[in-house]
């Protein structure tokens, strides 16, 4: 088992956008970054995006959607210390496992694993199309 140095943590991201959609095709349109108050965030727009935003204001084929924030959560992976002393981020490198530079394998919970080349009963099941030099990670 690896020594966990930093636990994995959830992080929530919230972004704001102003959307304009075509009245006759609501799946198509334009999306622009906005502030939390619903104002256009011109500082983060390219000159082309600013020009498109200005054009949307007067284009009668478009309608402005309701202003709603977009929010999602993702997990920052844990960091562990291998018995060799190296630090590694516990994120998926190979089928839910990560390899330390010393050659040891761990799952995303920090548990020790055998080398992936032994995960399958028949090596041909997994390695049949891999060059032999790729067997040894």
Same domain for 67 and 102, yes or no, is no
Q: What is the pLDDT of residue 118?
A: 79
Same domain for 58 and 88, yes or no, is no
Count up the domains in the chain and report the number.
2
What is the extent of the structural domain holding 91? Answer: 78-134
């200005």: which residue's tokens?
Answer: 54
Q: Which of 73, 92, 111 is the last residue of a domain?
A: 73
Same domain for 111 and 94, yes or no, is yes
Is residue 128 assigned to a domain?
yes
Is residue 96 assigned to a domain?
yes
Q: What is the pTM of this model?
A: 0.56
What DSSP string describes 57-124?
Answer: HH-TTEEEPPPEEEEEEEEEPEEEE-TTS-EEEES-SBTTEEE-TTS-EEETTS-EE--GGGSSSSHH
Choose among 70, 67, 59: nearest CA to 23: 59
Q: What is the pLDDT of residue 96?
A: 81
Is residue 48 assigned to a domain?
yes
Is residue 120 assigned to a domain?
yes
95 vs 137: CA distance, rounded Å: 13
Q: What is the pLDDT of residue 90?
A: 92
Same domain for 20 and 41, yes or no, is yes
Same domain for 99 and 121, yes or no, is yes
Is residue 110 assigned to a domain?
yes
Same domain for 91 and 125, yes or no, is yes
Give the rounded distance of the alpha carbon of 42 from its chain centre.
Answer: 26
Is residue 1 assigned to a domain?
no
Same domain for 66 and 84, yes or no, is no
pLDDT per residue, tens digit, the chain (137 aa), is 899 999 999 999 999 999 999 999 989 999 999 999 999 999 999 999 999 999 999 999 999 988 878 999 999 999 999 999 999 999 877 778 899 999 999 998 999 998 887 776 655 555 555 545 544 54
Same domain for 121 and 95, yes or no, is yes
CB atoms within 10 A of CB 75: 11
């Amino acid at each position: 088992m690896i020594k966990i140095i930093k636990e994995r943590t959830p992080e929530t991201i919230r972004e704001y956008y102003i959307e304009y959609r075509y009245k006759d095709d609501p799946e198509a349109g334009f999306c622009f970054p906005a502030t939390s108050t619903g104002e256009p965030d011109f500082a983060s727009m390219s000159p082309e995006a600013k020009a498109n935003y200005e054009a949307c204001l007067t284009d009668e084929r478009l309608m402005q959607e309701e202003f709603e924030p977009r929010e999602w959560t993702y997990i920052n992976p844990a960091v562990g210390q291998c018995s060799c002393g190296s630090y590694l981020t516990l994120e998926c490198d190979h089928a839910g496992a990560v390899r330390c530079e010393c050659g040891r394998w761990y799952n995303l919970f920090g548990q020790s694993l055998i080398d992936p080349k032994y995960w399958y009963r028949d090596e041909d099941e997994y390695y049949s199309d891999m060059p032999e030099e790729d067997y040894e990670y």
